[in-house]
Amino acid sequence: MILRSSTVAVAVAISLPATTITAETQWRVGANLASIHVAPKQEFNQFNPGAFVSITYGAGKRFEYGLQAGGYLNSYNERTLYVSSFANWRVASLGSVDIRAGGFLGFFEYPIIAGRAQDFGWPTIGDYILALGPSLKLRLENGVDFTIGYLPASSLKKANGVFTFQASIPFGRQH
Protein backbone atom coordinates (compact mmCIF):
# COMPACT_ATOMS: atom_id res chain seq x y z
CA MET A 1 0.00 0.00 0.00
CA ILE A 2 2.82 2.45 0.81
CA LEU A 3 4.41 1.84 -2.59
CA ARG A 4 1.13 2.63 -4.36
CA SER A 5 0.70 5.84 -2.32
CA SER A 6 4.19 7.07 -3.15
CA THR A 7 3.77 6.14 -6.82
CA VAL A 8 0.59 8.23 -7.07
CA ALA A 9 2.26 11.14 -5.24
CA VAL A 10 5.28 11.09 -7.56
CA ALA A 11 3.11 10.84 -10.68
CA VAL A 12 1.05 13.89 -9.73
CA ALA A 13 4.07 15.89 -8.58
CA ILE A 14 6.05 15.44 -11.80
CA SER A 15 3.05 16.35 -13.92
CA LEU A 16 3.26 20.03 -12.96
CA PRO A 17 4.85 22.30 -15.52
CA ALA A 18 8.42 23.35 -14.83
CA THR A 19 7.33 27.00 -14.66
CA THR A 20 5.88 26.47 -11.18
CA ILE A 21 9.38 26.49 -9.71
CA THR A 22 9.69 30.24 -10.34
CA ALA A 23 6.17 31.23 -9.22
CA GLU A 24 5.40 32.82 -5.86
CA THR A 25 4.74 29.96 -3.46
CA GLN A 26 2.98 29.52 -0.13
CA TRP A 27 3.04 26.35 1.96
CA ARG A 28 -0.11 25.57 3.95
CA VAL A 29 -1.12 23.00 6.53
CA GLY A 30 -4.75 22.11 6.98
CA ALA A 31 -7.47 19.92 8.34
CA ASN A 32 -10.04 17.81 6.53
CA LEU A 33 -13.17 18.34 8.61
CA ALA A 34 -16.43 16.89 7.37
CA SER A 35 -18.64 15.90 4.47
CA ILE A 36 -22.32 16.20 3.74
CA HIS A 37 -23.83 13.59 1.41
CA VAL A 38 -26.67 14.82 -0.79
CA ALA A 39 -29.70 12.47 -0.88
CA PRO A 40 -27.77 9.46 0.47
CA LYS A 41 -29.12 5.97 -0.21
CA GLN A 42 -27.23 4.60 2.81
CA GLU A 43 -25.75 5.94 6.02
CA PHE A 44 -22.30 7.58 5.76
CA ASN A 45 -19.74 8.86 8.25
CA GLN A 46 -19.84 12.64 7.84
CA PHE A 47 -17.13 13.49 10.39
CA ASN A 48 -13.93 13.10 8.39
CA PRO A 49 -10.93 14.21 10.46
CA GLY A 50 -7.61 14.35 8.69
CA ALA A 51 -4.68 16.53 7.76
CA PHE A 52 -2.96 17.78 4.64
CA VAL A 53 -0.10 19.91 3.40
CA SER A 54 -0.30 21.98 0.26
CA ILE A 55 1.80 24.28 -1.84
CA THR A 56 0.17 27.16 -3.70
CA TYR A 57 1.81 28.78 -6.72
CA GLY A 58 0.95 32.37 -7.57
CA ALA A 59 -0.12 32.84 -3.95
CA GLY A 60 -2.14 36.01 -3.43
CA LYS A 61 -2.57 36.61 -7.17
CA ARG A 62 -5.93 36.62 -8.97
CA PHE A 63 -5.17 33.06 -10.22
CA GLU A 64 -3.58 30.44 -7.93
CA TYR A 65 -2.86 26.75 -8.42
CA GLY A 66 -1.03 24.04 -6.54
CA LEU A 67 -0.76 20.57 -5.08
CA GLN A 68 -2.19 19.04 -1.93
CA ALA A 69 -1.48 15.71 -0.22
CA GLY A 70 -3.04 14.28 2.90
CA GLY A 71 -5.24 11.72 4.53
CA TYR A 72 -8.54 11.49 6.39
CA LEU A 73 -11.15 9.13 7.83
CA ASN A 74 -13.54 8.70 4.90
CA SER A 75 -17.30 8.26 4.63
CA TYR A 76 -16.92 4.48 5.10
CA ASN A 77 -14.87 4.90 8.32
CA GLU A 78 -11.70 3.86 6.51
CA ARG A 79 -8.43 5.71 5.89
CA THR A 80 -8.08 7.62 2.63
CA LEU A 81 -4.76 8.98 1.36
CA TYR A 82 -4.83 11.42 -1.53
CA VAL A 83 -2.84 13.66 -3.84
CA SER A 84 -4.60 16.38 -5.80
CA SER A 85 -4.04 19.50 -7.82
CA PHE A 86 -6.19 22.60 -7.56
CA ALA A 87 -6.73 25.96 -9.20
CA ASN A 88 -8.83 28.94 -8.20
CA TRP A 89 -9.57 32.54 -9.16
CA ARG A 90 -10.38 35.47 -6.89
CA VAL A 91 -13.91 36.36 -7.98
CA ALA A 92 -14.86 38.88 -5.27
CA SER A 93 -13.80 40.51 -2.04
CA LEU A 94 -16.17 41.29 0.80
CA GLY A 95 -14.37 43.47 3.32
CA SER A 96 -11.33 41.50 4.42
CA VAL A 97 -12.52 38.19 2.89
CA ASP A 98 -11.44 37.03 -0.58
CA ILE A 99 -13.87 34.71 -2.34
CA ARG A 100 -12.15 32.29 -4.72
CA ALA A 101 -13.82 29.85 -7.12
CA GLY A 102 -12.09 26.95 -8.80
CA GLY A 103 -11.75 23.22 -8.79
CA PHE A 104 -9.64 20.19 -7.94
CA LEU A 105 -8.46 17.01 -9.61
CA GLY A 106 -6.70 14.15 -7.88
CA PHE A 107 -6.48 10.51 -6.90
CA PHE A 108 -8.13 9.39 -3.66
CA GLU A 109 -7.70 5.99 -1.99
CA TYR A 110 -11.08 4.19 -1.81
CA PRO A 111 -10.63 0.39 -1.86
CA ILE A 112 -14.30 -0.14 -1.00
CA ILE A 113 -15.51 1.45 -4.27
CA ALA A 114 -12.47 1.08 -6.57
CA GLY A 115 -13.92 -2.05 -8.20
CA ARG A 116 -17.22 -0.30 -8.90
CA ALA A 117 -15.30 2.64 -10.40
CA GLN A 118 -13.39 0.29 -12.68
CA ASP A 119 -16.66 -1.38 -13.75
CA PHE A 120 -17.95 2.07 -14.79
CA GLY A 121 -14.73 2.69 -16.73
CA TRP A 122 -13.75 5.50 -14.36
CA PRO A 123 -9.96 6.16 -14.16
CA THR A 124 -8.27 4.37 -11.26
CA ILE A 125 -4.74 3.49 -10.20
CA GLY A 126 -5.07 0.42 -8.00
CA ASP A 127 -7.33 1.47 -5.10
CA TYR A 128 -7.04 5.16 -6.04
CA ILE A 129 -9.98 6.76 -7.83
CA LEU A 130 -9.84 9.92 -9.94
CA ALA A 131 -11.95 12.62 -8.31
CA LEU A 132 -12.68 16.09 -9.62
CA GLY A 133 -15.08 18.86 -8.83
CA PRO A 134 -15.65 22.54 -8.19
CA SER A 135 -14.57 24.37 -5.04
CA LEU A 136 -15.29 27.62 -3.24
CA LYS A 137 -12.64 29.11 -0.96
CA LEU A 138 -13.01 31.91 1.58
CA ARG A 139 -9.66 33.46 2.54
CA LEU A 140 -9.59 35.68 5.61
CA GLU A 141 -7.22 38.63 5.94
CA ASN A 142 -5.05 36.64 8.37
CA GLY A 143 -4.50 33.95 5.69
CA VAL A 144 -6.87 31.31 7.07
CA ASP A 145 -8.73 29.48 4.28
CA PHE A 146 -12.08 27.71 4.50
CA THR A 147 -12.79 25.51 1.46
CA ILE A 148 -15.97 23.78 0.33
CA GLY A 149 -15.57 21.19 -2.42
CA TYR A 150 -18.20 19.22 -4.28
CA LEU A 151 -17.92 15.68 -5.67
CA PRO A 152 -20.66 14.65 -8.11
CA ALA A 153 -20.46 11.01 -6.96
CA SER A 154 -23.92 9.54 -7.48
CA SER A 155 -22.93 6.36 -9.32
CA LEU A 156 -20.02 5.43 -7.05
CA LYS A 157 -21.08 6.47 -3.55
CA LYS A 158 -24.84 5.90 -3.45
CA ALA A 159 -25.49 9.61 -2.94
CA ASN A 160 -26.25 12.42 -5.38
CA GLY A 161 -23.00 14.12 -4.44
CA VAL A 162 -20.78 15.03 -1.54
CA PHE A 163 -19.84 18.42 -0.12
CA THR A 164 -16.44 18.44 1.63
CA PHE A 165 -15.10 20.94 4.16
CA GLN A 166 -11.49 21.91 4.90
CA ALA A 167 -9.59 24.67 6.68
CA SER A 168 -5.93 25.65 6.30
CA ILE A 169 -3.34 28.14 7.49
CA PRO A 170 -0.13 29.34 5.82
CA PHE A 171 3.24 28.49 7.33
CA GLY A 172 6.74 29.60 6.48
CA ARG A 173 7.60 32.58 4.31
CA GLN A 174 5.91 33.22 1.00
CA HIS A 175 8.52 33.09 -1.80
Question: For residue 144, is it within any domain?
Answer: yes
Q: Mean pLDDT over residues 145-163, rounded?
A: 85
For the chain, what is the domain count?
1
**Among candidates 149, 168, 175, 167, which has minimal Cα distance to 57?**
175
Q: Is the pLDDT of residue 59 over 50?
A: yes
Q: Does this model's pTM top 0.75?
A: yes
How far is the C-alpha of 132 from the C-alpha of 151, rounded, in Å? 7
The range of the structural domain enclosing residue 73 comes to 27-171
Read off the CATH number of the domain in which 88 is found: 2.40.160.20
Question: For residue 91, is it within any domain?
Answer: yes
How confident is the model at residue 141, as a pLDDT?
93
Instruction: For residue 155, list its beta bridge partners.
Output: none
